Amino acid sequence: MAKVFGLGSEPVVGLLTPTKKRDYRVTNRLQEGKRPLYAVVFNFIDSRYLSVFATVGGNRITVYQCLEGGVIAVLQSYVDEDKDESFYTVSWASNVDGAPFLVAGGINGVIRVIDTGSERIYKSFVGHGDSINEIRTQALKSSLVISASKDESVRLWNVHTGICILIFAGAGGHRNEVLSVDFHPSDIYKIASCGMDNTVKIWSMKEFWSYVEKSFTWTDLPSKFPTKYVQFPIFNASVHSNYVDCNRWLGDFILSKSVDNEIVLWEPKVKEQTPGEGVVDILQKYPVPECDIWFIKFSCDFHYNQAAIGNREGKIFVWELQSSPPVLIARLVHPQSKSPIRQTAVSFDGSIILSCCEDGTIWRWDDVTNVPPA
Amino acid sequence: MVTDSASKPQKQHGEPLEDTSGTLASKIDQMRKQIQEERIISVKEKLQRNGENLQRQISAILSVISSWDSSQTKENRASEMLSLRINQPQSKYLSLSQLSEENNPVGIPAHSIKLPPVEKIPTYTTWVHLARNVKMGEDQSIIGRRRIYYEKHGGEALICSDSDEEVTENEGVKHEFSEGEDRLLWMAFEELGLTDEVLNIVSQSVRGTSLEIQDRYQDLKAKNMGRQNQHSEDSGEYKSHIGICLEKSLGAALDSFDNLFCRRCIQLFDCPLHGCSQPLIYPSEKQPVWSEPEGDRKPCSDQCYLLLKDVKMLSECSTPGSLQGKITATIEEADGIVAPSSEEGPSNQKIMGKRRVKVKSDSAFRDSILPHDYSQTQNSSKKMKTVSDDTVTGSNDYNRDLNLDACNEEKQSVTHASSEVSVEHSSGSSGNVKPDKDVADRQKDTTNETEFKNLYSSMEGQFDEKLSLSDWKPLEKELYLKGVEMFGRNSCLIARNLLSGLKTCMEVASYMSIPHTFSHGTGSIMDENGKITANRPDQKMSRSRMLRKRGKTRKSKYSSKSAGIPYALKRIASGKNQSIKQYTPCECQTTCGKECPCHTNGTCCEKYCGCSDICKNRYRGCHCAKSQCKSRQCPCFAAGRECDPDVCRNCWVSCGGGSLGEPPRRGDGHCGNMRMLLRQRQRILLAKSSLVGWGAFIKNSVNKNDYLGEYTGELISHKEADKRGKIYDRENSSFLFNLNDQLVLDACRKGDKLKFANHWQSPNCIAKVMLVAGDHRVGIYANKNINAGEELFYDYCYEPEHRPPWAVPKAEASKKDESAANQSRSKKHQSH
**B474-487 vs B505-512: helix crossing angle, rounded to 10:** 80
Examine the pLDDT at B406 and tell me if it is beyond 50: no
CA-nearest residue to B167 within chain A is A1
Question: Counting beta carbons within 10 angstroms of the beta carbon of residue B268, is it exposed (0 to 12), middle (13 to 18) or buried (19 or more)?
Answer: middle
What pLDDT shows up at residue B246? 63
Strands A253-257 and A262-270: antiparallel
Beta-carbon separation of A27 and B97 below 8 A: yes
* pLDDT value at residue B643: 87
Quote the minimal CA–CA distance from B473 to chain A in Å. Answer: 30
Which residues from A are below 8 Å from B120, CB to CB? 108-110, 126
Contact B117 A112 (CB under 8 A): no
* Residue type at position B491: S
Please give the order of strands across the beta sheet that includes B775-782.
B707-711, B775-782, B765-772, B793-795, B758-759
Does B382 score more than 50 pLDDT?
A: no
Q: Which of A5, A7, A196 to mutate to test the interface with B (most CBs of B within 10 A)?
A: A7
Average pLDDT over residues B415-441: 43
Orientation angle between helical segments B305-312 and B505-512, nearest 10 degrees? 80
Interface test with A, best of B38, B82, B87, B732 (most A CBs within 10 A): B82
Residues B309-314: contacts with CB within 8 Å, 24+ apart?
A: B309/B374, B311/B381, B311/B384, B311/B385, B311/B432, B312/B374, B312/B377, B312/B381, B312/B428, B312/B429, B312/B431, B312/B432, B314/B432
Between CA A13 and CA A28 the distance in angstroms is: 33
Mean pLDDT of B746-759: 88
Nearest CB among A26, A185, A324 relative to B44 is that of A324
Beta bridge partners, A257, equal: A246, A263
Phi-psi region of B193 (alpha: psi -120 to 50; beta: other; left: phi over 0): left
Say whether pLDDT at A93 is over 50: yes
Interatomic CA distance for residues A17 and B670, integer angstroms: 82
A112 contacts in B (CB within 8 Å)? Answer: 115
Q: Which residue of chain A is at minimal alpha-carbon distance from B724? A: A175
Residue B7's pLDDT is what? Answer: 41
Query: Closest residue of B to A93, CA-based?
Result: B65
- Contact A175/B142, CB-based, under 8 Å? yes
> How far A145 CA sits from the closest chain B CA (Å)?
16
Q: Do A74 and B89 touch (CB under 8 A)?
A: yes
Query: What is the distance between the alpha carbons of residues B795 and B761, in angstroms, rounded to a whole number?
Result: 6
- The CA distance from B110 to B89, in Å, is 10
Alpha carbons B304 and B435: distance in angstroms, whole number: 26
Q: Is the ipTM of this complex over 0.85?
A: yes
User: Do A76 and B55 lie within an 8 Å CB cutoff?
Assistant: no
CA distance B753 to chain A (A): 15
- CA-based nearest residue to B768, from B758, B756, B747, B782: B782
Task: Spell out which residues of chain B touch residue A124, defining contact as CB-CB under 8 Å.
Answer: 118
Strands A316-320 and A327-332: antiparallel
CB proximity list for A371: less than 8 A, separation 6 or greater: none
Amino acid identity of A108?
N
Phi and psi at residue A137, to the nearest 5°: -115, 140
**CA gap B467, B455 in Å, rounded:** 18
A8 and B180 within 8 Å at the Cβ level: the answer is yes
pLDDT at B275: 73
Are A336 and A7 in contact by the 8 Å Cβ rule? The answer is no
Cβ separation B115–A65 shorter than 8 A: no
CA atoms within 13 A on the CB side of B539: 22
- Widest pairwise Cα distance in chain A: 62
Say yes or no for a CB contact (<8 Å) between A47 and B81. no
Three-class secondary structure of residue B191 per DSSP:
helix
d(CA B77, CA B89): 16
3-state SS of B330-342 is HHHHHHHHHHHHH
pLDDT bracket for residue A200 (50, 70, 90): very high
CB pairs < 8 Å spanning A and B: 279
pLDDT score of A244: 94
The CA distance from B549 to B727, in Å, is: 57
Q: Which residues of A touch B202 (CB under 8 A)?
A: none
CB atoms < 10 A from the CB of B80, how many? Answer: 21
Would you say A192 and A200 are in contact if contact means Cβ atoms under 8 Å apart? Answer: yes
Residues of B in contact with A364 (CB under 8 A): 95
Instruction: Report how far residue B482's alpha carbon sits from residue B717's, in angstroms, rounded to the nearest whole number.
Output: 39
What is chain B's Cα-based Rg? 41
Neighbouring-strand partners of residue A111: A125
Cβ-defined contact of B95 to A304 (cutoff 8 Å): no
Please judge whether A7 and B148 are an interchain contact, meaning their C-beta atoms are less than 8 angstroms apart.
no
Whole-structure pTM over 0.90, yes or no? Answer: no
**pLDDT for the residue B681:** 86
| B520 vs A35, residue with greater confidence | A35
Residues 6+ apart with CB under 8 A from B561: none
Angle, CA of B701, B705 and B711, to the nearest 5°:
85
User: Which positions in chain A touch B106 (Cβ < 8 Å)?
Assistant: 31
CA–CA min distance A218, chain B (Å): 23
- Strand partners for A346: A353
Q: What are phi and psi of B52, to 5 degrees?
A: -65, -45
Higher pLDDT, B528 or A174: A174
H/E stretch holding B224 reads helix B210-234
Contact B93 A80 (CB under 8 A): no
Q: Give pLDDT tens digits for B200-249.
A: 777 777 777 777 788 888 888 888 777 766 655 444 444 444 444 566 67
CB contact at 8 A, B323 and B316: no
Could you tell me which chain B residue has the CA closest to the CA of A84? Answer: B117
Q: Which residues of A touch B750 (CB under 8 A)?
A: 170-171
Backbone angles phi, psi at A235, to 5 degrees: -155, 135
| pLDDT tens for each residue of A94-115 | 998 888 999 999 999 999 999 9
First to last CA, chain B: 78
Mean pLDDT of chain B: 65
pLDDT in tens, B704-750: 888 999 999 989 888 888 888 877 777 767 788 888 888 888 888 88
Alpha carbon distance B460, B467 (integer Å):
10
Average pLDDT over residues B751-756: 90
Interface test with A, best of B33, B55, B65 (most A CBs within 10 A): B65
pLDDT digits (tens, 9 = 90+) for B594-648: 788 888 888 888 888 878 777 888 888 888 876 678 888 888 888 888 888 888 8
Q: Give the pLDDT confidence of B260-313 residue by residue, as tens digits.
A: 778 777 767 778 787 776 777 776 666 666 666 555 667 777 777 777 766 655
Question: Chain A partners of B113 at a C-beta cutoff of 8 Å?
Answer: 76-79, 119-120
- The closest CB to that of A283, out of B46, B57, B58, belongs to B46
Residues of B in contact with A152 (CB under 8 A): 125-126, 749
Say which of B36, B71, B140 has its CB closest to residue A98. B71
Alpha helices in chain A (DSSP H): 209-217
Distance in Å, alpha carbon of A189 to nearest chain B alpha carbon: 14
Q: Which of A6, A185, A324 is closest, CB to CB, to B181?
A: A6
CA–CA separation, B643 and B205 (whole Å):
67
Closest chain A CA to residue B126? A151
Measure in Å the smallest separation between the Cα of A309 and chain B Cα atoms.
19
| Cβ-defined contact of A151 to B121 (cutoff 8 Å) | no
Q: How far is CA B199 from CA B186, B193, B213, B215, B517, in A?
A: 11, 9, 8, 12, 57
Distances (CA, A) of A26 to A73, A337, A342, B621: 16, 10, 18, 83
**Secondary structure of residue B377 in the 3-state scheme:** coil
Question: Which of B62, B109, B207 lies closest to A6 in CB terms?
Answer: B207
Calculate Rg over the CA atoms of chain A: 20
Side chain identity, residue B713: G
Q: What are phi and psi of B46, to 5 degrees?
A: -60, -45
Nearest to A242 among B109, B148, B207 (CB): B148
